[in-house]
Structure 1
Amino acid sequence: MRYGTGVALCLAAGAIWSLMGLGLRQIEAASVWQILFWRSVGMIPVLLGFMWWTSKGRPLAALRAVGLAGIAGGLGLVVAFAGAIYAFQTTTVANAVLLFAASPFVAAVLGWLILREAVRPSTWIAIAIAVFGMYLMVSDGLQTGAFAGNMAALLSAAGFGIFSVALRWGRVGDMMPVAFLGSIFSLIFAAGVLIFRGEPIPALPQDMAVAFAIGFFVVAMGMVLFTLGSRVVPAAELTLLSLVEVLLGPIWVWLALGETASQNTLIGGGVLLAGVVFNAVLGARRPGNEGVAETS
């Protein structure tokens, strides 16, 4: 695959993921756990099919290869998926996606604490910048009543951080089996919560269809495109390309539904994104980051 093709695939993935908030706004009555269940149902066939293709018909071998790290990463994705859904339902799309952008910094801190990975001084500066931006956004939630949604978005970012650290801990080169485990765990966990709370697993037909479509087309297809593209794009550039989701997500709900963001969200989000870009640009200048990732 050519480098330009990889960039195009990653950009396409970000554009597809950016439709998440708009899609969830179409849900009428389904709860977070019903949405998580039916979205997971939509994700599973796509991820299984891609894993079957890349493993040459041996998906079980691919699952066994990820080991305990895959299980830990999959559980992290349960937190990330559930937190994201709740955040989109209880705060603005702009708030949610901007706070999601903090996940690389959460991963850096977790990697430092758990794996004893060194963190560049420039990354600590970027983390400080991002924390200030997040403070502005979260404090705004106290005034607008969206504090719980903001906390859920940060919890989601933490879940993605756990997912990333688990991959590095287990030296897992292929994230797709871990994502598949995450979808299975999410389905089981959501069903368990619904049964425990005495709520039905089926929702309104329209809500089930929307949640399934989000899982199938938005989440899973986006993962497939991003996985393919990431094979020939350096990690620091992937961070920048993924910002397409952050930038487009609020635009779709503004154009379609007239949903706007507060001044503090825009200021704090701008500060947060500045930290992300600062870290990614300096990371791209490090020796060894100028090339492309190994292709397979």
Structure 2
Amino acid sequence: MVLVTMLWSTAGVVARQLEYARSFEVTFWRSLFTFLCLSLLLPLLQGPRFWSGLRTAGRAFWVSGVCWSVMFTAFMVALTLTSVGNVLITMAIGPLLTALVARVFIGHHVATRTWFAIAAAGAGIAYMYATQLDTLSWAGTLVALCVPIAGATNWTVTQHAHEQGHDVDLVPAVWVGGALSSLVTLPLAYPFQASGHDVLLLGGLGVFQLAIPCALSVVCARVLKAPEVSLLALLEVIFGILLAWLGAGETPTHSVLLGGAVVIGALLVNEWLGWRER
């Protein structure tokens, strides 16, 4: 799972090495290579069960696929509009946003500790952005916010389906997400401007930053407890900011470091207390 977070965190620093590819073209190439990679891996790993599963998949599976496509698209577009730190810390509120969405739509109980964590994380995000009003890319922030919203929707839908006795296989849903994301962004990416260097980097992201780690994370989730997965997934924020700092010279501001520390601290305390309760 630590390896998974390290692979996930490479998107920011790699995006800063691109020469000509921008915005939707960045998303198109990464999503296309994710789709192609999983098109080879999944039939090998699951055999005929993969194709038969697609034919019998329920509505929750396809909703999950749409959510993955939104996350793929919004994440890479956000990286072209604002800093890596802003994107990753905004995404870090996903677990807390998921708790709220699950409470509203499927009636899941939200523990008191989680309400405090939501308030603390909200304060950290507010501080981080309030000190950057003059230089902040609001478009990048709003696009980045689509990632945890789609993630919260994805988890809530799949959890509800599980409670109804219909388990959703998340790895094929990632495959669907890659296919939808590449199809939607294809007309928006035209005319193509990416160099061979750019396509090579984005192909590497599609395979090693998305397809392989997403498949590995599902395997990890079968072994590790949910709080362990949530805690370890936070390493993506740390690794991502560090890699962008060291590999692309994108030095995080004081407000990003402090606001991010508040958000990560709130998540850590919430998960640790939940772990102890279990």
Q: Same fold (TM over 0.5)?
A: yes
Runs of 4+ in 1 over 6 A off after TM superposition: none
Runs (5+) with no aligned partner, structure 1: 1-9, 288-296
Residue 122 of structure 1, CA deviation: 1.2
1:11–1:52 distance in 2 versus 1, CA, 3 Å: same
| Number of the residue aligned with 2:173 | 178
1:214–1:132 distance in 2 versus 1, CA, 3 Å: same
| Number of the residue aligned with 2:265 | 274
Q: What is the alpha-carbon distance in structure 1 between the residues aligned to residue 55 and residue 222 of structure 2? A: 22
| Number of the residue aligned with 2:34 | 43
| Number of the residue aligned with 1:102 | 93
Residue 151 of structure 1, CA deviation: 2.1
Q: What is the alpha-carbon distance in structure 2 between the residues aligned to residue 87 and residue 144 of structure 1? A: 15
Residue 202 of structure 1, CA deviation: 6.4
What's the TM-score, normalizing by structure 1?
A: 0.86
Residue 54 of structure 1, CA deviation: 4.1
| Number of the residue aligned with 1:20 | 11
What's the TM-score, normalizing by structure 2?
A: 0.92
Q: For 1:121-180, what per-residue CA distance to the aligned partner results, in whole angstroms no more than 9, with x for missing partners?
A: 211111111111111122234222333222222221212212212211222353111111
Instruction: Please point out which of 174, 197, 216 is paired with 1:206.
Output: 197
Letter in 2 for 1:252: L
Q: What is the alpha-carbon distance in structure 2 between the residues aligned to residue 59 and residue 276 of structure 1? A: 35
1:52 counterpart SS class:
helix
| Number of the residue aligned with 1:149 | 140
Aligned CA RMSD, in angstroms, stands at 1.8
On the 8 A contact 1:101/1:246 being kept in 2, the answer is yes
1:17–1:206 distance in 2 versus 1, CA, 3 Å: same
| Number of the residue aligned with 2:159 | 168
2:197 counterpart SS class:
helix
The answer as to 2:82 corresponding to 1:91 is yes
| Number of the residue aligned with 1:218 | 209
Residue 25 of structure 1, CA deviation: 0.9
What is the total number of aligned residue pairs between the two structures?
274
Identity of aligned residues (%): 28
Q: What is the alpha-carbon distance in structure 1 between the residues aligned to residue 230 and residue 273 of structure 2? A: 12
Q: What is the alpha-carbon distance in structure 1 between the residues aligned to residue 236 and residue 96 of structure 2? A: 17
Q: What is the alpha-carbon distance in structure 2 between the residues aligned to residue 233 and residue 21 of structure 1? A: 27
1:28–1:42 distance in 2 versus 1, CA, 3 Å: same
Q: What is the alpha-carbon distance in structure 2 between the residues aligned to residue 187 and residue 142 of structure 1? A: 33
The answer as to 2:1 corresponding to 1:32 is no
On the 8 A contact 1:66/1:177 being kept in 2, the answer is no
Q: What is the alpha-carbon distance in structure 2 between the residues aligned to residue 138 and residue 65 of structure 1? A: 45
1:146–1:177 distance in 2 versus 1, CA, 3 Å: same
1:58 counterpart SS class:
helix
Q: For 1:4-24, what per-residue CA distance to the aligned partner results, in whole angstroms no more than 9, with x for missing partners?
A: xxxxxx110001111110111
On the 8 A contact 1:42/1:212 being kept in 2, the answer is yes
Letter in 2 for 1:227: V
| Number of the residue aligned with 1:254 | 245
1:131-146 equivalences in 2 (<5 Å): 131-146=122-137
Q: What is the alpha-carbon distance in structure 2 between the residues aligned to residue 69 and residue 187 of structure 1? A: 21
Q: What is the alpha-carbon distance in structure 2 between the residues aligned to residue 138 and residue 152 of structure 1? A: 15
